[in-house]
Amino acid sequence: MSIKSLFSSVVIWLLFSFQSQAQDNNAAIDYNDYLASTTDTLYTLGSKWGTKFGEIKEKREFEKLAPVRKEIQNFIVRKKMEIFLMKDYKGSVKLRLAMVEFLCFQDYMIGQGFLPFESLSKTVSDNVLEKYVEKLSTLAEGEGEMLQKVVKEQEAYAAKNGFKMEE
C-alpha cells in the first residue's frame, strides 16, 4: 500500500469517525431535549391550572378546575409510563429514572395539592381556602428539589456525552 493510499484511508476513517461522533452527540442532545420537553409541558399545564384558579377563585367555582387537573394527570400518567419504558441511550439510565421520579412526585402533588380544591364549596371561608393554598405552596417547594435532581442528572449526561446544557 502506498503512502498516498494509506493517508487517504486514514483521512476517510477520521472523517467517518468525526461524523459518527457528531451524530452520536446530536442523538444524545435530542434524547435529553425530549426528556426536558416533559418539564416544559408540565410548566405550561401548571400555568393553565393557575390561570383557571385565578379566574374561578372569587366566584368559588372550584369544580371548574377538574378538567385542567385531569389534563395534567393524564399527561403525567402517559409520560411516566413512556419514559419508564424508554430505552436508555449512551448512559441515560440515571437521567431517565430521575425524570420518572419527578413525574411520580408531580402525580403525588396533583393528588394532594390540586385535587382537594375541587371539593371546596362556594361557601368556603377565606381561612380554609388559604390553608389549601399553603399546602399547595409547601408541595411546590418539594417540586423544586425534585427538579434539581433532574437538572443534576441532565448535566451529568451532557458531560458524559460531550455537550453543554443551555442556560
pLDDT band per the 50, 70, 90 thresholds, residue 166: confident
Which of 9-18, 37-46, 68-77 comes out lowest in average pLDDT?
9-18
Gap between the Cα atoms of 73 and 81, Å rounded: 12
Close Cβ partners of 115 (under 8 Å, ≥ 6 residues apart): 69
Query: Are 99 and 38 contacting, i.e. CB atoms less than 8 angstroms apart?
Result: yes
User: What is the 8-class DSSP label of residue 88?
Assistant: P
> Minimal CA–CA distance to 37: which of 160, 150, 133?
150
Model-level pTM? 0.83
Could you give the percent of the chain with pLDDT greater than 90? 82
Mean pLDDT, the chain, whole residue set: 88
Question: Which comes out higher in pLDDT, residue 9 or 125?
Answer: 125
Task: Tell me what pLDDT residue 46 has.
Answer: 96
Question: E strands along 13-101, which residues?
Answer: none
pLDDT at 124 over 80: yes
Q: What is the mean pLDDT of residues 118-132?
A: 97
Planar angle of CA 48, 102, 29, nearest 5 degrees: 90
pLDDT exceeds cutoff 60 at 19: no
Beta strands in 43-124 (DSSP E): none
Classify residue 127 by its DSSP letter: H
pLDDT at position 25 is: 65
